[in-house]
A and B are shown apart, each in its own frame.
Chain A
Amino acid sequence: GAVVSQHPSRVICKSGTSVKIECRSLDFQATTMFWYRQFPKQSLMLMATSNEGSKATYEQGVEKDKFLINHASLTLSTLTVTSAHPEDSSFYICSATTGAYQPQHFGDGTRLSIL
């Protein structure tokens, strides 16, 4: 149980392209979803917290117009990297939880490479 599907697993695209990443909780309804960015051999950096039907809460220093988050349902959140540039290349991971005191369950991540 507690499976989170993240798609696509890898994206390679040209600078200036917008890229959408989907995060789905397959067998549970997630009250909250989180979006992280991870640099090589480093810990996870929280980008934003997303609740169904409301605006995402972004961490300090994360551009909300750059990283658009939509949480359309209790099982789906999307992250759109708008007008991506090489510095946006990274490993993006989503997670979902059923409650504030429950574990977060993670997707398998999306490797984004901007040429």
Chain B
Amino acid sequence: AQSVAQPEDQVNVAEGNPLTVKCTYSVSGNPYLFWYVQYPNRGLQFLLKYITGDNLVKGSYGFEAEFNKSQTSFHLKKPSALVSDSALYFCAVRDVSSNTGKLIFGQGTTLQVKP
């Protein structure tokens, strides 16, 4: 069965420090992976995607993610966190059984960046 796991409910970092939000996936075949961010009472904003190619994907707002096939992981990273990065982050994988682009989401990780 396909799935996405975000093992941490919350990640706390100090402003200026690097941050990592973890994501692992289980899918048959090549994965199509996405990261989204959600601010309170808002929809999700697309950050980045991995389809194929370089394992290090760069996205919006200085975020990047590293695809690791052997570890089936797609961790989100940023070299220097900002207080404004505090939000709810979702990792998602495309449902390979669907031809519509349906996504399977992780449970979300709350990132708290403290000044």
Contacts and interface: CB of A to CB of B under 8 A. Distances in A.
Given A99-B101, A100-B99, A103-B34, A93 B44 contact: yes
B28 to A, nearest CB: 16
A101 B32 contact: yes
B41 A44 contact: no
A32 interface: yes
Interface residues on A, range: 20 to 34
A102 B102 CA distance: 10
Contacts, number: 63
Interface in A86-115: 91, 93, 95, 97, 99-109, 111
A49 interface: yes
- Interface SS of A by simple majority: strand
Contacts of A42: 107-108
Nearest to A98: B101
A60 interface: no
Contacts of B98: 49, 100
Given A49-B100, A100-B99, A101-B101, A95 B32 contact: no
A68 interface: no
Contacts of B101: 32, 97, 99-102, 104
Contacts of B41: 91, 108-109, 111
Given A43-B107, A43-B108, A101-B51, A32 B43 contact: no
A77 interface: no
B45 interface: yes
A32 B98 CA distance: 12
B42 A104 contact: no
Nearest to A102: B101
Interface of A: 2, 4, 6, 32, 34, 41-44, 46, 49, 51, 57, 91, 93, 95, 97, 99-109, 111
